[in-house]
Amino acid sequence: MPADLHARVTATILQQLDTADPNAWTPPWHGADPLPRNALTGKRYRGLNILAPWCAAQGHGYADARWATYRQWAALGAQVRRGERGTLILFYKDLPTTNRADTTHETGADNDATTARFVARASTVFNIAQVDAAPQASAPTGPPPAPQPTFVTVTGSTINNGGTRTCYIPTTDTIRMPPRSAFRSAEGYAGTLAHELVHWTGAPPHRLARDLTGRFGRRAYAAEELIAELGAAFVLADLGLARTSHPDHAAYLASWLPRLTTDPRALATAAAAGSRAADYLAALQPPDNATRAARQHNGQHNPATPNFIADQQPTTATPIAVQSTAASVA
């Protein structure tokens, strides 16, 4: 049942939290892992289907982002090894119009645009590390394209630099960021800025108009923070950049736990919204955005270079404590 996947992925994360110090725990969406993709079709997974493979990869040390079902690996001339355990994901089958009224009952899905159009089914996929005779990754051809405008600049978002607090301010539709010298690494700066950009995607009506009050009630703030955390991870993974902990990581975890414990579908809802935010930001980019193309060409993860943020050299100033503004969306 689809609900099993919601519960399983949530239980995996909660189990990790139970056995680790929340201040030091590394979520499966941190690091420089690329977004999981289907080995046969080449399509990227989305939403909860990103988190499930990431959890499995973290637990088993898989370094390759290619996944496929047993039959798909066979179609590629590969064989899943005996005794290997697969990872559950969801796929969605389009329903005829006459059956769409029954979809919500059948899937138990959250109030989402997909509930009236699709029925969810579970599928099992295996990582390339679990198969024999797997095809080699295709080598890119041709030189990388010429550099394009930075990812953040192309979004058109307004970013005010200065101070020690980071937040998105809905009333002015601006992002407040401390200077890059306030962060211990370029990855930390990129991760925090991506977090705020995800907030930026959801506020005004002319963007995604993300309203969580109906689904999460008084916990809408905590849900929005989880969406921003996941969405930032999806953005940076797609660009081949490492995701590091948000400065208020431990506090955010404490706010997520009650909802994740009582509502396994909350994680699926947040992951879907995070994917939509990441897709929205990607859609703003030129078709030949060199950040993504260069990563694909090299077949490697790039450090947090100016391809994501403005080309400016960080100063040698001592990093300062970066804080979130409670009155705003942090």
Domain end call among 98, 132, 166: 132
**202 in any annotated domain:** yes
Domain end call among 132, 161, 187: 132
Q: How far apart are CA 314 and CA 189, in angstroms?
A: 11
**318 in any annotated domain:** yes
Asked whether 8 and 262 are in contact (CB, 8 A), the reply is: no
**286 in any annotated domain:** yes
Task: Mark whether 164 and 240 lie in a shared domain.
Answer: yes
Q: Environment class of residue 119 by beta-carbon count within 10 Å: exposed (0-12), middle (13-18) or buried (19+)?
A: buried
Residue 23, pLDDT score: 62
Q: How far apart are CA 46 and CA 7, in angstroms?
A: 17
Domain end call among 100, 132, 164: 132
Task: Mark whether 165 and 251 lie in a shared domain.
Answer: yes
Q: How far apart are CA 305 and CA 19, in angstroms?
A: 34
**140 in any annotated domain:** no
Task: Mark whether 118 and 218 lie in a shared domain.
Answer: no
Q: Which amino acid is at 185?
A: S
Q: How does residue 113 score in pLDDT terms, banded at 50, 70 and 90? A: very low
Asked whether 328 and 171 are in contact (CB, 8 A), the reply is: no
Task: Mark whether 108 and 161 lie in a shared domain.
Answer: no
Question: Residue 69 carries which DSSP code?
Answer: -
Task: Mark whether 300 and 247 lie in a shared domain.
Answer: yes
**146 in any annotated domain:** no
Q: Which amino acid is at 204?
A: P
Does 171 have pLDDT greater than 80? yes
Name which of 185-194, 257-266, 294-303 the model is least confident about: 294-303
Q: Which domain holds residue 102?
A: 2-132
Q: What's the number of domains the chain is made of?
A: 2
Backbone angles phi, psi at 180, to 5 degrees: -60, -30
Asked whether 69 and 41 are in contact (CB, 8 A), the reply is: no
Q: Considering the chain, what is the average pLDDT of its residues?
A: 74
**269 in any annotated domain:** yes
Task: Mark whether 113 and 198 lie in a shared domain.
Answer: no
Tokens 């947040």 label which residue? 270
Task: Mark whether 31 and 156 lie in a shared domain.
Answer: no
Residue 94, pLDDT score: 62
Does 135 have pLDDT greater than 80? yes
Tell if the pTM clears 0.85, that is, is over it.
no
Task: Mark whether 127 and 162 lie in a shared domain.
Answer: no
Mean pLDDT value of segment 47-59: 86
Task: Mark whether 159 and 119 lie in a shared domain.
Answer: no
Does 101 have pLDDT greater than 50? no
42: closest CA among 68, 8, 81?
A: 68
Task: Mark whether 31 and 82 lie in a shared domain.
Answer: yes
Task: Mark whether 244 and 103 lie in a shared domain.
Answer: no
Task: Mark whether 122 and 182 lie in a shared domain.
Answer: no
**103 in any annotated domain:** yes
Residue 123, pLDDT score: 87
Residue 267, pLDDT score: 82
Residue 266, pLDDT score: 84
Which residue would you say has higher pLDDT here, 193 or 302?
193
Q: How far apart are CA 185 and CA 181, in angstroms?
A: 9
